[in-house]
């Protein structure tokens, strides 16, 4: 699974995120190489393929490898066990 366009991102944010009381992982991370986020299919998230919130990704605290989204849709890099 990957989020390939704005419509898919809106679907995830609108359908899945409201059912949770915290952000959900969208299937992407930078575990293999810091700062290079890839989805579960191995595609690098770059340019128009992203929906980062302003100021993200920021690797706050030095340990935010997972890409999450909330009910508003923009992405955040998050630490393990966030929430």
Superfamily of segment(s) 6-78: Mannose-Binding Protein A, subunit A (3.10.100.10)
So what's the pLDDT on residue 32? 96
So what's the pLDDT on residue 63? 92
So what's the pLDDT on residue 20? 61
Quote the distance between the C-alpha of residue 64 and its chain's center.
11
Query: For the stretch 41-57, what's the b/e string if a residue is b when 16 or more beta carbons lie within 10 angstroms of its beta carbon?
Result: eeeebeeeebbeeeebb
Please answer whether residues 56 and 44 qualify as being in contact, where contact means their C-beta atoms are separated by less than 8 angstroms.
no
Query: Which pTM was predicted?
Result: 0.79
What's the CA gap between 68 and 60, in Å, rounded?
14
Q: Tell me how crowded residue 67 is: count the other CB atoms within 10 A of its CB.
A: 26
32-80 pLDDT tens trace: 999 999 999 898 988 777 889 999 999 999 999 999 987 677 899 999 8
């Amino acid at each position: 699974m990957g989020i390939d366009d704005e419509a898919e991102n809106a679907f995830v944010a609108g359908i899945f995120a409201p059912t949770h009381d915290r952000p959900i992982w969208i299937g992407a991370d930078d575990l293999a190489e810091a700062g290079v986020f890839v989805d579960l299919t191995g595609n690098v998230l770059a340019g128009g393929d992203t929906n980062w919130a302003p100021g993200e990704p920021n690797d706050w605290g030095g340990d935010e490898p997972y890409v999450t989204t909330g009910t508003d849709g923009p992405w955040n890099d998050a630490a393990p066990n966030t929430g």
